[in-house]
């Protein structure tokens, strides 16, 4: 158990990311790639993710404004988005992407809209959580090793 109160808080935050299903095992892979040579690796990758995925979300939004829906295109965009999300272990976001794609495949426009709204919610929530987490992490300073969630 961390004696340092900031580190303790950080550990709690981190655990809740897993417990609440926001991130999965892949996130641990990111943490394991963080070391002295790459002390901010996780934050860097997550930042890249939000940058990349913002573009895709915009594309999807624009595509959803065009009727009738081009389900093929929507699916392709979401496929990209899903790949991106899974590379950082964004579990809930990824799950919602899957639902969206299923709606695309069955030509369910309403379902797509609903799913996309939900996805954006999860995406924003996760971003907030990451924001708080990394801010605290920077305060805490470098940590020795990543540990697996209990």
Partner 1 sequence: MLEGKQNGHVFKLPKVILLAKNITNVELEKAKAAGFADTVIMKPMRASMAAACLQQVLGIGKKRQAGKDMLNGSPVLQGLLCGKKILVVDDNMAHQRVFAGALKKFGAAVECRESGKAALKLLQLPCCFYACFMDIQMPEMDGFEATHPIRMMESKANEQMNGGMDEDSGRKGEWHVPILAMTADVIHATYDECLKCRMDGCVEAL
Q: Which two tokens stand for residue 47?
A: 């930042």
Find the binding residues for partner 1 in span 27-86 (CB under 8 A): 29-30, 33, 38, 41, 44-46, 48-49, 51-52, 79-80, 82-84, 86
Rounded to a whole number of angstroms, the minimum distance from the CB of residue 6 to partner 1 is: 26
For the chain, the residue count is: 150
DSSP-derived 3-state class of residue 4: coil
Which residues on adjacent β-strands are paired with residue 23?
A: 90
Rounded to a whole number of angstroms, the minimum distance from the CB of residue 146 to partner 1 is: 13
- Would you say 45 or 64 has its CB closer to partner 1? 45
- Which H/E stretch holds residue 89? none
- Residue 129 in contact with partner 1, rule: CB under 8 A: no
Verify cis geometry, omega within 30 degrees of 0, for the bond prior to 107. no
- Would you say 7 or 79 has its CB closer to partner 1? 79
């Amino acid at each position: 158990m961390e004696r340092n109160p900031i580190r303790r808080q950080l550990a709690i935050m981190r655990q809740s990311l897993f417990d609440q299903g926001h991130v999965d095992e892949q996130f641990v892979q990111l943490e394991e790639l963080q070391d002295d040579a790459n002390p901010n690796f996780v934050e860097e990758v997550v930042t890249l993710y939000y940058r990349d995925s913002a573009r895709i979300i915009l594309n999807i939004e624009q595509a959803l404004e065009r009727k009738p829906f081009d389900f093929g295109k929507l699916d392709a965009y979401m496929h990209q988005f899903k790949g991106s999300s899974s590379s950082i272990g964004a579990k809930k976001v990824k799950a919602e992407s899957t639902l969206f794609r299923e709606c695309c495949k069955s030509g369910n426009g309403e379902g797509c809209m609903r799913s996309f709204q939900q996805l954006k919610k999860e995406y924003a929530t996760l971003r907030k959580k990451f924001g708080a987490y990394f801010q605290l992490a920077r305060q805490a300073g470098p940590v020795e090793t990543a540990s697996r969630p209990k």
